[in-house]
Amino acid sequence: MRLDTLTRWDHLLFQKSQSHSYWRQWAGVSRWVSRTGDGPPYAVLGLVLWFSHLPQLQGYVVDALMAFVLELPCYLAIKNTCKRRRPTAAIAGCQAYIQPSDQFSLPSGHTAAAFLMAVLAVAHLGIWGVLALPWALMVGLSRVLLGVHFPSDILAGAALGGGIACFILWS
């Protein structure tokens, strides 16, 4: 499949999400979901888990810190190399429900961080960690509904975060 075909599908799926009759209501909820994937909640979670003094939870924090040390430069390198325009710049008439932190969309950093944490949660917490996977997916979908990412940005973010988490776990 050619890149222009993938881009066309990406734009079509994005526009479909914004044309849905409940888009504004979903975008309102998505704003809250997206904020759970911001940096401060991760810091608070890390501190709570670390000070639990449970080795399993402290191991999760250590792995998360190591994973973020790898993920952030990879994320920035990809974003600044691809320089993919956000939907509002790429599609005429597109609306964003929030102001993005930068001008490029690929990959979704929120999604990368969420999947990094979710994959590590599964590894460290077993069946309880599986509960983090739907949350990570919702964070990614919220970014599309907010109008700041294309669906493929979410897939790239999930692959980046999940891949880095797996690398940390297997190294």
**pLDDT category, 136, cuts 50, 70, 90?**
very high
Q: Check residue 15 and give its pLDDT.
A: 83
Both tokens assigned to 7: 């881009």
**8 has a pLDDT exceeding 90:** no
**pLDDT category, 168, cuts 50, 70, 90?**
very high
Q: Check residue 1 and give its pLDDT.
A: 56
Distance CA(171)–CA(156), nearest Å, equals: 22
Inter-residue contact 148 to 87 (CB < 8 Å): yes
Q: Check residue 59 and give its pLDDT.
A: 96
Compute CA distances 16 → 46, 100, 144, 150, 170, whole Å: 37, 20, 11, 11, 39
Mean pLDDT, the chain, integer: 91
State pLDDT tens for residues 63-117: 999 999 999 999 999 999 999 999 988 888 888 888 888 899 999 999 999 999 9
Sign of CA dihedral 96, 99, 105, 111: negative
Q: Check residue 171 and give its pLDDT.
A: 87
Task: Provide the 3-class DSSP secondary structure of residue 2.
Answer: coil
**The whole model's pTM is what?**
0.92
Q: Check residue 154 and give its pLDDT.
A: 97
State pLDDT tens for residues 34-77: 999 999 999 999 999 999 999 999 999 999 999 999 999 999 99
The answer for 104, left when phi > 0, alpha when psi is -120 to 50, beta otherwise, is beta
**DSSP secondary-structure letter at 104?**
B
Q: Give CA torsion, residues 12, 134, 148, 2, to 10 deg.
A: -40
Where is pLDDT greater, at 164 or 145?
164
User: SS3 helix, strand, coil % of the chain, rounded to 5?
Assistant: 75, 0, 20
Minimum mean pLDDT range among 2-6, 119-123, 165-169: 2-6
> What percent of the chain lies above the pLDDT cut of 70?
98
